Structure 1
Amino acid sequence: MDPAPDDRTAVTPPSPDGQSRRALLRAGAAAVAAGTSAALAACLESDSSVDVPPGVDDPTSLPDGQHAWNDALAHDADGNVRPPAHHVFLELSLRGGPDGSARETVETTLRDLERAVAWGPEGVLFTLGYTRAYVDRFDASLEGVSLPEPDPMPVLAAESDVTVATNDALLHLASDDAAVVLAVEEALFGDRQRLDGTSLSGSLADVFERVDRRTGFVGPGLPAERQQGLEGLPDGDPVPEEAPFFMGFRSGFRESQATEDRVTIADGPFAGGTTQHVETLELELGSWFEASSHDQRVARLFSPDHADREAVGKYGDRLGTDPGVLETVDRIADDARERGIVGHAQKLARARDDGDPVLLRRDVNTTDGDVCGLHFVSLQRELSEFRRVRRAMAGDEFRQYGVGPRQGNGILRYVRLRHWGDYFVPPRRQRALPRPNPDT
C-alpha cells in the first residue's frame, strides 16, 4: 500500500461508540490474520484517520526489559492488565552469521522503530527472543541463563502432532490497532518505506528470513466474532459475546499473574531480561461446549467449588482480580476422590512459590489455519519454573482416583499441542544478536 499523502501511516481512531469500536477490532483481527498489504489498506479506509502515535527521541529511555509492558498497558474495570488486542509472532532464521554488521542492522532498525512509533498499545509493543539453536551457533555457552534443548512435555504431546521451534529467533509484535501492527511488520522487513514520517534506515530482512507467521487476538467480542465458520465448533455460536477467550471465560487475573519483576532475570550479564515459552494449542471446542454444561466447564477450568458457589458468572465476570483458586488447593485430593474432577486453575495453583504465581501469561486466541486455538505465551525467570507448572497441570497423581487426561483432569482432554518453542529474551541493551557471554 502507498503511504498516505503526508507520508504518515494512517490508522482508524477509536470510536466513541463502543459497538462501533468493537466492530473495528473484529475487522482488524481478520486483517492481521490475512497479513497482506491489501488487508492493511482495508484497515485504513476511513474518512477520519489519525497518525501513528509518535515514538521517543531517545530509545534508551525505554524500559531495559523488552518484556516490561505492564506500565504501558491499560487496565480493565476490575484492575486487571488489559493486553493488546492484535498480535503477530514471526519465527526468524538468520541469513548469515551473527556478526557485527548484522548486529548493527538489527539494533538500528529497532531503534528507528522506537523513534517512529510509541511504545504502548496505541502504538506497538514487541519482544525479540532467541532459541537454543541460535545459542548453539557460538562456541561459548549461554551465561547465567538456562536454555535447554526444546523438549515438549508428554502431558500435552502424547496425542499431538508437535512442531518444535528450531529457528533462531521469535519476534512478537502487539498493538491495539490492527493497522499499526501490520504497518510495523511491513516496515521492519522492507515492505513499507516510512512510519509516521520516519524512514527506517535498516531492514530486518537483511539479517533474518521470515520462516513462519502466526497471529492472534484477545478481548471481549473478538472470539465470538471469529468463531463463525471455524472447524470443530458446534452450531449456535457458543462462545459468549463478552468472553475474551474461545473457551468462554476471562483469564489474566491480577492475583494469578506473576509480576514483571518476578519473571525478570536478576543477576548475570543478561540481568533485566527473561525467558519465554510460546506454544500453540488447538482447542476441541465442539466437545467443550456440547458435552458439558456451564457448571461443568467452570469446575474443569477453575474448581468444583467454584461451580458449587456459582462464583464465576457467565464468563468470569464475578471474579474481579482474583479467581480464588489458592484456597481450593487443600481440597483437591478430595475433589478427585469424591467428585472425579479437579480444576485446571486449581492444579496450577499448587505450583506457586509461597502462594505467589511464578508465570506471567500473555495468551492470545488464534484462528490460524481456520482452527480455533490458543497461543500460550508464558514469561518466567527460569524455564524450569514453567516446567514445574506444566507438571502440576498434568495431575498424574490423580490417576489413582480415576481422574485421567480423558476424564475429569482439568481441561487436558480439550487441548492438543501443535507448536512448542522456548526462548530467552535479553534486555533491550542486548537484544540485537547477543553473544552468549557478553562480558567476556
Structure 2
Amino acid sequence: MKRSSRSLSRRAFVRSAVAIGGASALAACLDRESEADIPSGLEPDELETLPERQHAWTEYERTDEHGNSIAPEHHVALHLEYVGDGPDAMTEERETVESAYETLERAYSRGSDGLLFTVGYGPAYFDRFEESLPDPVDVPEPESLSPIEDPELDSYDGLIHLASDHGSAILSAEEALRGDLETLNGVEVDGSLEGIFEVAERRTGFIGEGLPADNQSGIDGIPDSEPVSEDAPLFMGFKSGFKKSQATEDRVTIQEGPFADGTTTHLSLIRLHLNQWYEQDSREIRERKMFCPAHAEENRVEGAGHNLGDSNQVGGCAERTLEDAKEHGMVGHAQKSARAREDGRPIILRRDFNSTDNDEAALHFLCHQRSIDDFVATRAAMTGSDIAEESAITARMNNGILQYMTVRRRANYLVPPRRHRSLPLPNPA
C-alpha cells in the first residue's frame, strides 16, 4: 500500500533520529511520536508469563495477508564490552542487569508496537571463565567464510538487538540501559548497564515498505538516477522473510542443557554496491539473480514480490542450480541458499535489516540458528563455490548477488534463555 508523503516524511525523520541516537535525538523523535501511543508492558508479578525464548518474536509481530511476519521498522544493535569487576562480582552485577532488562519489559509491551529485544554473548565474554560451555552449545570465534571476503572479526562481549515500530521506544530503552533516564514510558527505571557494560559500537537500521525509497538520497552505493520502488522493504528492491522461506523458531531453538530455549545469533555487516544493480542490470536480470532464472522466464515476480505469497517459490529451482549455471550462465541467490534446507525448510531464521550508517548503503545480516554450524552451511550454499567450479559463472559474477556485496564484519553470539540472559555463567546448571 502506498503511503502518503507526510507519513513517509515522519518515518524518514524517525529513522534519522534512531541513527543519530542520544538524548537530543530522543527529544526530537518524541516531537513526532507520542509515548501515549506505545502500549505499556507488564506488572512485576506478570513478567514470569513472558516466553523463555528471547528470540520468540513471531507471535508478537504484525503479519501480512499471507501470514508472513512484518519485521519491526526500526533497529539498533548495541555492541557491548564488559567493564565490571569480573566473575567474582557478577552475582550482584547480574541482579542489576536483570533489573534493567525487566524495566524494559515493564515499560513497553512485547511486540512491534512496543519493544522487542534479545541479549547475546560472544566468545570473548565466555573466555574469562575457567569452565567451558556445555554440549551441545558452541559459540565459535567468527571467521572468513569464503575466498572472496576479508571481514573484520568482531570480539565484543555482548550484543543487544532492539527493535520496534516506534523509534522513540528504541531510543528511550537505549538511554535507560545507559543509566541516563529516570523513568521509561511512565515506569521508574530500576537498574542499568552503567559500570558493568559499555557500548563499544552502535549500529542502526530499518526495514519496511517505503523506508528504503525514502532514505536512499545521498547514500553511497545507491544511485539517485534509479530510485528504489516504494513497495520494496529492502534496498535491493525485493521482499524477503517469506514464512515458508524461513526456519521456524522451534528449528533454531537449542533443545537441551542449561541453555535450552536459547539460540545463537550470527551478525554480519555487509556493504552494498547497487549502482550496476539498478543502472545497468535489467529488471529481468535482477529477478534471475535474486530468485532464479525460472522466476524471470515465467514472470512470477510482481513489484517487490509480495504476490509470491508465503514462499519465495525457489524449492524446485534449488535442484536445477548447477544446470541453470551451465545453461544460463547465471544462478539466483535464493536458489543457491535453498540447497541448505532440511526437510524442505531453511535452517536459519533471518531478521536482517538495511542501514545508512556513515551514509553508506548496508545490510545487517542477522540470523538465529540452533548452531552456528547451520549458518556456516547456509552461507556455503549461498556462496556457491561448488557451482562456480563446475560452470561458467565465477566466484562473484553472475553468482547470485555476491558481486553487489562486501562483507565488512562478522560476529557470533549465544542468546541464552530469558532466565540466563543477565551475565550468564558458562554452565549455569
The match for 1:166 is: 155
Q: Any residues of structure 2 matched to 1:11-410 within 5 Å, and which?
A: 20-45=6-31, 50=36, 52-57=38-43, 58-96=46-84, 97-98=86-87, 99-144=90-135, 145-154=137-146, 157=149, 160=150, 162-399=151-388, 400-410=390-400
Mean Cα displacement is larger for which, 32-41 or 266-275?
Answer: 32-41
Mean Cα displacement is larger for which, 234-243 or 365-374?
Answer: 234-243
Measured against aligned partners, the alpha-carbon deviations of 1:65-100 in whole angstroms (never above 9, x if no partner) come to: 000011111101222100100000000001121411
Q: Any residues of structure 2 matched to 1:405-420 within 5 Å, and which?
A: 405-420=395-410
What is the rounded CA distance, in whole Å, between the counterparts of 2:203 and 2:364 in structure 1? 9
CA contact (8 A) 1:175 1:181 kept: yes
Partner of 2:163, secondary structure, is strand
What is the rounded CA distance, in whole Å, between the counterparts of 1:51 and 1:394 in structure 2? 44
Identity across the alignment (%): 46
The one-letter code matched in structure 2 to 1:37 is A
- Give the TM-score normalised by the residue count of structure 1: 0.93
- Pairwise CA distance, 1:163: 2.2
The match for 2:425 is: 435
CA contact (8 A) 1:105 1:207 kept: no
What is the rounded CA distance, in whole Å, between the counterparts of 1:344 and 1:48 in structure 2? 41
What is the rounded CA distance, in whole Å, between the counterparts of 1:77 and 1:147 in structure 2? 37
What is the rounded CA distance, in whole Å, between the counterparts of 1:101 and 1:241 in structure 2? 50
Measured against aligned partners, the alpha-carbon deviations of 1:20-45 in whole angstroms (never above 9, x if no partner) come to: 44332222111100112222112222
- Pairwise CA distance, 1:237: 4.1
The one-letter code matched in structure 1 to 2:408 is R
The one-letter code matched in structure 1 to 2:308 is L
- Pairwise CA distance, 1:196: 2.1
Partner of 2:307, secondary structure, is coil
- Pairwise CA distance, 1:235: 2.9
Measured against aligned partners, the alpha-carbon deviations of 1:339-397 in whole angstroms (never above 9, x if no partner) come to: 10011100011100121111100010000110001000110011101000111111112
Partner of 1:39, secondary structure, is helix
- Give the TM-score normalised by the residue count of structure 2: 0.95
What is the rounded CA distance, in whole Å, between the counterparts of 1:235 and 1:24 in structure 2? 21
The one-letter code matched in structure 2 to 1:79 is G
The one-letter code matched in structure 1 to 2:395 is P
What is the rounded CA distance, in whole Å, between the counterparts of 2:33 and 2:414 in structure 1? 43
- Pairwise CA distance, 1:19: 5.1
CA contact (8 A) 2:79 2:199 kept: yes
The alignment's C-alpha RMSD in Å is 1.5
Partner of 1:137, secondary structure, is coil
CA contact (8 A) 1:156 1:415 kept: no
CA contact (8 A) 1:340 1:402 kept: yes
CA contact (8 A) 1:227 1:237 kept: no
In the alignment, structure 2 segments of 5+ residues that lack a partner are none
Measured against aligned partners, the alpha-carbon deviations of 1:181-240 in whole angstroms (never above 9, x if no partner) come to: 111111111112111221212111221011000001000000001110011322324211
- Pairwise CA distance, 1:429: 0.3
- Pairwise CA distance, 1:117: 1.5
